[in-house]
């Protein structure tokens, strides 16, 4: 069974519905330039109501270590996702504390060589955008995604996923997990409940052939 991470959670309603529908992980973005940013205080409030069996993931972009540590401890996060230019040593520092996911925007084959230098718990691959670190809504390069899936590391697929195309990408890429944000939103940070339910159910009910 494929796992589902719903990212860009900003409120209790979306978090509770995602959990109820069967999401395996929730992503909370602490990047100040993101339209889906949530404060540590708000995240902590939301997490008080969420099942302990749902993985809580903090998303950061080129953040100072001390800031990440403070938020990690304050919100009691269980995993960290790094979406910037963080180095392998930076990621290894946090890997000693929690699960670490390193995100890569698939621009060209050079990115695949870069990925191999990171001994993290999982790779997340996203569509390339020259100015945005994530949440672009753009579809990922299928050929590069397939090569990334062949690397010996658990893979999280992101990039333009929505209820209409998710089965296509599951069949083509066969990742261990999928990450969705803009594809199930009414507007940045606010989920469309029906789309979210449909997306999660389609992933959970899909049987790889």
Based on the residue annotation, tell me whether 91 is a catalytic residue of this protein: no
Selected catalytic residue, list 14, 24, 126, 141: 126
Look at the chain and report how many structural domains it folds into. 1
d(CA 154, CA 148): 10
pTM of the entire predicted model: 0.92
Does residue 208 have a pLDDT over 70? no
* pLDDT tens digits for range 87-145: 999 999 999 999 999 999 998 889 999 999 999 999 999 986 555 554 455 678 889 99
pLDDT given for residue 127 in this prediction = 82
Task: Out of 7, 43, 75, 91, pick the active-site residue.
Answer: 7
**Which domain covers residue 142, as residue numbers?**
3-205
Q: Would you say 125 and 145 are in contact if contact means Cβ atoms under 8 Å apart?
A: yes
Q: Where are the beta strands (DSSP E) in the chain?
A: 3-7, 25-29, 55-60, 79-82, 99-106, 122-127, 155-157, 177-180, 185-187, 190-191
* CATH number of 199's domain: 3.20.20.70
Active site includes 121? no
Per-residue pLDDT tens for 138-190? Answer: 678 889 999 999 998 999 999 889 999 999 999 999 999 999 999 999 999 99
Q: Give the confidence band of 37 by pLDDT, cuts at 50, 70, 90.
A: very high
End-to-end CA separation in angstroms for the chain = 12
- Pairwise CA distance, residues 209 & 200, whole Å: 19
């Amino acid at each position: 069974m494929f796992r589902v991470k719903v990212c860009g959670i900003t409120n209790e309603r979306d978090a509770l519905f995602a959990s109820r529908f069967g999401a395996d992980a929730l992503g909370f973005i602490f990047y100040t330039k993101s339209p889906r940013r949530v404060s540590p205080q708000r995240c902590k409030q939301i997490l008080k109501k969420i099942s302990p069996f749902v993985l809580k993931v903090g998303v950061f972009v080129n953040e100072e270590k001390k800031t990440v540590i403070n938020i990690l401890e304050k919100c009691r996060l269980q995993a960290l996702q790094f979406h910037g230019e963080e180095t392998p040593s930076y990621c290894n520092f946090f890997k000693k504390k929690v699960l670490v996911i390193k995100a890569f925007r698939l621009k060209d084959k050079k990115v695949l060589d870069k990925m191999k230098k990171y001994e993290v718990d999982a790779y997340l691959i996203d569509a390339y955008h020259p100015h945005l670190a994530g949440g672009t809504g753009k579809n990922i390069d299928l050929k590069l995604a397939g090569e990334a899936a062949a690397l010996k590391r658990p893979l999280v697929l992101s990039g333009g996923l929505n209820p209409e195309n998710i089965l296509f990408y599951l069949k083509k890429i066969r990742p261990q997990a999928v990450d969705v944000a803009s594809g199930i939103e009414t507007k940045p940070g606010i989920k469309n409940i029906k789309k979210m339910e449909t997306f999660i159910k389609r992933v959970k009910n899909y049987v790889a052939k």
